[in-house]
Structure 1
């Protein structure tokens, strides 16, 4: 998590409750409600994973209102995800003041705030003046919505987002199905050119990164795993950001059929790798959700995160987790510093991950 994100979350905690009261006193949203919304704004701050899991809800809204323009207000760090969803009309960024102001002045018929906890996005939704304002009722942010949805830690996040969408569509929750992500042909062609020297070999993708250190499995264990998988005849491709470059180097060191692509691919190109791979092995991460949305097989390693909420569902996925008493500890995007030396992740062994991977590959 960057210092900028930590600062914004701190400001929300400090100023968010005050901002909720002030805007409620000083501003009044429009009251006229269109029977069929023609313009819809969806707010999605946060990381890659939440953005990916929002896409089925966007599809459900577009299915209900095919004539409506659906705009997204996102952050730079998750914005590329929405290029994989053709239902979106326009992408606006919180990071650009001009586009933030454009969203406020957009005169939307409906606004859906998909942020789960922090208050400033609810303030933003209220300032648009939209007559329909939908959001999660997790704290005082609920006072800024006229259509509130309860939020459960035991419900998969896709379903939580679909519940928001159904408040607008007035229909039963959209049946989730995969794949729900559209790949870019140019990204696919580029990735195929990178992987062509693995011709005849099946590929396993590894992602060693994570939004916090507490969610990461050790690079040395990924290396042991990649060695065992390579001995079984699989090529190893490591994906990740520039921050994962050194981990990728450790994982591929001395592995003959391997490729470290950390820091070398865009998100859409990483998606093309995941689609090409027979399997992704990863911690609890946005890349995990991306693979799920593509219909790819995954083995996910959970420690601080709530696997009931976040692990990919379905028979194409396996999850490895240890019953550590303090796990899960992550809530609403916050993972506290660990006083037990990341025990929940360190207890996960190479052999059990390998066994889960081999079983899934045979199915």
Structure 2
């Protein structure tokens, strides 16, 4: 049933997860904002979600934070259920996959909308967008998107100047890390298999990219912007690459980090949160996947913006991400490297 859109709508959007999980709902959130033009939007999310969606739009006026790992989650759920019941929501869009979240809305009179089971070859962000379209009766075709503020651009620019990085040359970013890399348990080992490309490969790729650019007469600067906890990894890659990579370890600031990602003309990354953030900023990418398919877990962006590489297409897919060869990644990168810097309209 198509809903009549009212000017006094108050809407709750629900997505609790890590950075990449939340970025994936931005296409649907944009569709909600465009369809309910006067509505006030509240968001139930995580600390990571707040970082992603803070300042997303001035009509997003309230955030409720939920941490699934806290011991007192029962008390938190009780308070959330009470608050949600007291708010006069007309619609609740729940983009969580676990049915247990529906219990939080038991005291609300809002119309509740959840993603329906659908084609596994469709991106999660697409399913969220279709949920909104089914409610509004419109067929909005939005991509994931994020904004960068001027203060963050200046902060990123200052770091570039400090490290003698010329923003006018072709900037290539490498992101060799991923969440949980430092942990030692079954889940982290599974993540390493799926998202850990060998540091020797990163170094060889950087060096061969540098040599390729020289042959083509293209000025490039290859950078890594990493957390302090990944410093040792970054330093090893720099050394193995014959120092063709500039390692940045600035104080972590998500807004500044977005500005740095947007400054890159090309980013090479495994399936991580920064992959989704960079995609939402319009950055061109070569993204590496193993086990999970880019069709349903990749960035929801225009096809020409990135090239996904799948370990399962390689001769030894059981090796996980390590099955993807340096040559394979290099060939994909060559399609994006030009003398003229890339520009993407958001």
Q: TM-score range by the shorter chain?
A: 0.7 to 0.9
Corresponding residue pairs, total: 301
Instruction: State the 1:151 CA deviation.
Output: 3.2
- Is 1:207–2:175 an aligned residue pair? yes
Q: Distance in 1 between matches of 2:285 and 2:122?
A: 20
Q: Distance in 2 between matches of 1:241 and 1:152?
A: 37
Matching residue of 1:106: 87
Matching residue of 2:184: none
Instruction: State the 1:237 CA deviation.
Output: 1.7
- Is 1:175–2:141 an aligned residue pair? yes
How far does the alpha carbon of each residue in 1:150-176 deviate from its partner, in whole angstroms, 9 at most, with x for none? 33321122211101212332322x112
Gaps of 5+ in 1: 1-32, 137-148, 326-339
Matching residue of 1:57: 28
Matching residue of 2:96: 115
Label 1:317 to 1:222 Cα distance change in 2 as closer, same or farther (>3 A).
Answer: same
Matching residue of 1:360: 336
| TM-score after normalising by structure 2 | 0.78
Task: Give the alignment partner of residue 122 of structure 2, picking from 134, 140, 155.
Answer: 155
Matching residue of 1:229: 209
CA contact (8 A) 1:107 1:128 kept: no
CA contact (8 A) 1:38 1:109 kept: yes
- Any residues of structure 2 matched to 1:248-287 within 5 Å, and which? 248-253=234-239, 255-256=242-243, 258-262=245-249, 264-287=251-274
Q: Distance in 2 between matches of 1:359 and 1:89?
A: 42
Label 1:154 to 1:222 Cα distance change in 2 as closer, same or farther (>3 A).
Answer: same
Label 1:105 to 1:245 Cα distance change in 2 as closer, same or farther (>3 A).
Answer: farther
**Greater RCO, CA 8 A, separation 6+:** 2
CA contact (8 A) 1:245 1:263 kept: no
Gaps of 5+ in 2: 71-75, 180-190, 214-218
Task: Give the alignment partner of residue 61 of structure 2, picking from 80, 83, 89.
Answer: 89
Q: Distance in 2 between matches of 1:263 and 1:113?
A: 36
Label 1:341 to 1:84 Cα distance change in 2 as closer, same or farther (>3 A).
Answer: farther
Partner secondary structure for residue 268 of structure 2? strand
Q: Distance in 2 between matches of 1:106 and 1:255?
A: 59
Partner secondary structure for residue 24 of structure 2? helix
Q: Distance in 1 between matches of 2:236 and 2:84?
A: 44
Instruction: State the 1:35 CA deviation.
Output: 5.8
- Is 1:347–2:326 an aligned residue pair? no
CA contact (8 A) 2:41 2:62 kept: yes
CA contact (8 A) 1:243 1:263 kept: no
Partner secondary structure for residue 209 of structure 1? coil
Deviates more, 1:342-351 or 1:236-245: 236-245
